């Protein structure tokens, strides 16, 4: 991926000193390599060109990190989304080796995922004393968040604190090296305008109250002490802060994945069958929205029939342009679930602009993680598509940066 330019410079008389980078602490972001050759003086004619110096600068995209923001409430499938996203780039994401066992960071070859809970300014007892939730901006240190994300984006390693979810304390910091792609996930990635401006792409996972309730029942009923009342009370108590501080962030997101109860079954409240909408902002640089059949039309499509096996209640797709929070968007919607995941290829072949590298990549990615939650409905499908879109965005940004030094050399 590195594009290198070779400059041959005028011969120098003395030994060449290798320029030392002013940012040596950056480690693997060294950008310049200097080679020089010395031709033998014994040759009679070309005595004046005995020292030739080549300067190779690599205007590689990896000299600057691309930052992605993912906003969602706790227990809304952020970690599943993260696993799908890192899988698109290849390699499994794992916690940093040998560090704090309760670290929230995940590292793979290309991607580092940091959890924004690590920027809590108040620990659990501190919040209790002040009577604020983790959703409240007063419980978070946005100055530190901004400084550290900015530093990583510029290729500088940082010592990031660790918020320990088990003890509720702020643990000693860990070293985060600048990766190719940095994902910041948590409650407030787009809350502070300075942090928001650092993001190259932003996603909001919007889970409707009905579905959130159903998911939390599934998650928590196995745990002792939890009852329907306690789950309900917990959701209700956090709601005012959620609506004041978290929900408004979706207006800034480039893509919103909205998860709603199905419309295929009247009065369904089980939360098993989902209607999922992928809301894609128009006019975002390096991001062209996915569409169904015809770009810009409004379409409703029921694929069930001879080519796709569906049991009750079936599958329904819709697509169309809309206005969302004052922005022009394109919305792809899927209601229902797949019975046989391999038949997803039939649906995939009718979606355009997926940014896949080969025919069937979306289906293959979904089959790779058939055991993840949401693999048989729109949540898994749209999360995978957003993963491919982010890869495409990353590659375009890298390519556009690589072009600049090459162009400059020609001129």
Binding site for another protein (CB under 8 A): 74-75, 79, 124, 127-128, 130-135, 165-166, 168, 216, 219-226, 230, 233-234, 237-238, 240-241
CB of 337 to another protein, least distance (A): 20
| CA 258/CA 347 separation, integer angstroms | 20
CB of 238 to another protein, least distance (A): 6
Strands (E), 122-213: 158-163, 170-176, 181-186, 201-207
| CA 347/CA 337 separation, integer angstroms | 12
Strands (E), 117-169: 158-163
Closest to another protein by CB, 134 or 255: 134
CB of 209 to another protein, least distance (A): 14
Closest to another protein by CB, 223 or 267: 223
Closest to another protein by CB, 212 or 316: 212
CB of 220 to another protein, least distance (A): 5
| CA 196/CA 203 separation, integer angstroms | 11
| CA 151/CA 5 separation, integer angstroms | 26
Closest to another protein by CB, 82 or 329: 82
Closest to another protein by CB, 141 or 220: 220
CB of 90 to another protein, least distance (A): 18
Instruction: Verify cis geometry, omega within 30 degrees of 0, for the bond prior to 105.
Output: no
For every residue of 313-382, DSSP letters joined together read T-EEEEEEEEEETTEEEEEEEEEEB-SSGGGHHHHHTTEE----SSTTHHHHHHHHTTTSTTTTBHHHHH
Closest to another protein by CB, 118 or 335: 118
Contacts of 189 (CB under 8 A, 6+ apart): 69, 70, 71, 116, 195, 196, 199, 202, 249
Closest to another protein by CB, 234 or 269: 234
Collapse the DSSP code of 276 into the 3-class scheme (helix H, G, I; strand E, B; otherwise coil) and give the result.
Answer: strand
Strands (E), 221-314: 255-261, 274-281, 291-292, 299-301
| CA 266/CA 283 separation, integer angstroms | 37
CB of 382 to another protein, least distance (A): 22
CB of 94 to another protein, least distance (A): 12
Closest to another protein by CB, 25 or 130: 130
| CA 114/CA 182 separation, integer angstroms | 8
For tokens 């310049």, what's the residue? Answer: 32
CB of 240 to another protein, least distance (A): 8
Closest to another protein by CB, 98 or 131: 131
Q: What b/e readout covers 308-326, taking b as 16+ CB neighbours within 10 angstroms? A: bebeebbbbbbbbeeebee
Given phi > 0 = left and psi -120 to 50 = alpha, else beta, which region is 227?
beta
Q: What b/e readout covers 34-57, taking b as 16+ CB neighbours within 10 angstroms? A: eeeeeeeeeeeeeeeeebeeebeb
CB of 368 to another protein, least distance (A): 16
Closest to another protein by CB, 163 or 317: 163
CB of 82 to another protein, least distance (A): 12
């Amino acid at each position: 991926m590195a594009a290198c330019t070779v400059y041959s410079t005028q011969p120098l008389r003395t030994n060449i000193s290798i320029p030392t980078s002013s940012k040596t602490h950056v480690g693997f972001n060294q950008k310049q390599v200097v080679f020089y050759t010395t031709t033998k003086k014994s040759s009679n004619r070309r005595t004046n060109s005995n020292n030739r110096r080549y300067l190779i600068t690599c205007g590689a995209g990896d000299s600057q990190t691309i930052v992605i923001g993912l906003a969602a409430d706790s227990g809304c499938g952020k970690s599943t989304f993260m696993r799908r996203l890192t899988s698109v780039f290849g390699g499994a994401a794992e916690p940093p080796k040998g560090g704090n066992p309760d670290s929230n960071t995940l590292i793979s070859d290309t991607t580092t995922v940091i959890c924004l809970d690590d920027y809590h300014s108040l620990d659990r007892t501190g919040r209790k004393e002040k009577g604020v939730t983790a959703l409240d901006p007063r419980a978070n240190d946005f100055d530190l968040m901004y400084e550290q994300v900015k530093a990583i984006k510029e290729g500088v390693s940082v010592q990031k604190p660790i918020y320990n979810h088990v003890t509720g304390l702020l643990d000693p910091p860990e070293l985060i090296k600048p990766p190719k792609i940095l994902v910041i996930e948590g409650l407030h990635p787009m809350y502070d305008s300075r942090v928001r401006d650092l993001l190259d792409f932003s996603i909001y996972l919007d889970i409707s109250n009905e579905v959130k309730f159903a998911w939390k029942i599934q998650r928590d009923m196995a745990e002792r002490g939890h009852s329907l009342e306690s789950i309900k009370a917990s959701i209700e108590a956090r709601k005012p802060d959620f609506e004041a501080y978290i929900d408004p962030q979706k207006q800034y997101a480039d893509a919103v994945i909205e998860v709603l109860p199905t419309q295929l079954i009247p009065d369904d409240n089980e939360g098993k069958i989902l209607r999922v909408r992928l809301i894609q902002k128009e006019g975002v640089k390096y991001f062209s929205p996915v569409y169904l059949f015809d770009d810009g039309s409004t379409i409703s499509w029921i694929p069930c029939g001879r080519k796709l096996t569906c049991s009750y209640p079936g599958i329904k797709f819709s697509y169309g342009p809309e206005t969302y929070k004052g922005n022009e968007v394109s919305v792809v919607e899927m209601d229902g679930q797949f019975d046989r995941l391999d038949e997803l290829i039939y649906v995939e072949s009718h979606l355009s602009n997926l940014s896949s590298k080969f025919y069937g990549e979306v289906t293959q990615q979904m089959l790779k993680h058939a055991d993840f939650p949401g693999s048989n409905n729109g949540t898994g499908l749209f999360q995978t598509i957003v993963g491919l879109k982010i890869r495409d965005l990353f590659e375009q940004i890298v390519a556009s940066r690589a072009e600049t030094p090459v162009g400059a050399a020609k001129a």
